[in-house]
Amino acid sequence: EQFEAMVAPLAAAFLSRAVGAEVSACAREVLRRYELAGQDLARRDAIDQRLAAARQQHLEAARRAEAARRSLEELARDAGVADPGGLEEAERRDEERRRLEARLASLDEALFTEGMTLDELSAAVAGADVEAARLRLDAIEEELAEVNEAVSALDRQLATQQEGLLRLLRKEGAFAAAADQQTVLARIAHLAERWARLRLASHILEQEVQRYRERNEGPIIRRASAIFPELTLGEYVALRSSYDERDEAELRCLGADGADVGVEALSDGTRDQLYLALRLASLERHAERGELLPLVVDDILVHFDEDRARAALSVLHRFSEVTQVLMFTHHARHVEIARQCLPEGGVVIHELTGGRRSAKAV
């Protein structure tokens, strides 16, 4: 019945439809959904990693695009590119210019070197018709001027077309970088949206789990939480159950100063007082079910100072109204404290063989 009472609010809170008449079916479904939530958390972590990688890729693409842009700007300044049209024709004319320059150099070499000295060249042209030679020279100079003009025009066209080529390359590189950037941004937006949904679902689930734990804290913990402050003289005011990072249950002690302390951080005496509070709460729980058991303890006050020993004996005396309490001790001081702090007839002292005493609270 207690199990059904625990499962019912879970099923009402987390199941959108009835799973079955048996409460175990509802419990299994809630557990299955909890496990799915754990898988979602693992997927969220993987998405976080991919998101970080995508952001890094985006930054690298942006850096490459910026580097390409600066490089193209430098090339454009160096070449003075203006128009990308006719680049192929400009290259062809550049080749023609180089061919004409090579031909001109060859003619110069043939005219002035050709293996002849100056006297030999003068003798070779001594009988030539001077007027005809002058006319031929004029024609050659005109042809040379035309060739030089053609070469200059080709140089101007080549410079213009090189400028256009670099501008075109710059635009194409920028377009490609922009396209890569938009792809990465779209991927980031998709992953960010999915991460936000999973993070919100995780947060809601964590809140619901915490609320359930607070509503259904066990009666033994609640009872021990009432006994523990009395045993510690108010140094600790309550107990609460919690869960560590591996989702394993652990017990936390709340101090009067607001400190939240784990069991492993308690002193030996305070830890003994905590265990005593838990044992008494457990026995009271058994007594509520009609399962009366005597409480037998052996030197449980060995780590207690005198004030806490008095408090513990008072708690044990009150517990003797529920069931019989037998306490063994070889410390005479504990016997004296029991006689002093407990009412008359509230304790019976038995001397055992060898001087060992047994105090029986009635």
pLDDT digits (tens, 9 = 90+) for 1-42: 888 888 888 877 777 655 555 788 888 888 888 888 899 999
pLDDT of residue 292: 79
Lowest mean pLDDT among 11-15, 114-118, 344-348: 114-118
332 versus 357: the higher-pLDDT residue is 332
212 versus 301: the higher-pLDDT residue is 301
**236-243 vs 325-329, strand pairing mode:** unpaired
SS3 content of the chain, % helix, strand, coil (to 5): 70, 10, 20
**What is the percent of the chain with per-residue pLDDT over 70, rounded to a whole number?**
67
The yes-or-no verdict on residue 105 having pLDDT over 80 is no
**What is the percent of the chain with per-residue pLDDT over 90, rounded to a whole number?**
19
Q: What is the mean pLDDT of the chain?
A: 77
Which pLDDT tens digit goes with each residue over 251-298?
A: 889 999 988 888 888 999 999 999 999 999 888 888 887 777 788 999
pLDDT of residue 87: 42
- Give pairs for 316-319: CB < 8 Å, separation 24+: 316/361, 317/342, 317/343, 317/346, 317/347, 317/361, 319/280, 319/283, 319/284, 319/295, 319/361
Strands, sheet with 260-262, edge to edge from the N-terminal-most edge strand: 236-243, 249-255, 260-262
Lowest mean pLDDT among 76-90, 227-241, 286-300: 76-90
Distances (CA, A) of 313 to 142, 184, 221, 270, 285: 131, 71, 21, 15, 20
pLDDT of residue 86: 43
Identity of the highest mean pLDDT range in 12-21, 62-71, 136-145:
62-71
Lowest mean pLDDT among 238-252, 296-310, 330-344: 238-252
The yes-or-no verdict on residue 326 having pLDDT over 90 is yes
pTM flag (> 0.75): no
The yes-or-no verdict on residue 85 having pLDDT over 50 is no
Tell me the pLDDT band of 46, cut-offs 50, 70 and 90. Answer: very high
Tell me the mean pLDDT in the region 53-80.
75
Residue 107: which residues within 8 A CB-CB, separation 6 or more?
Answer: none
344 versus 60: the higher-pLDDT residue is 60
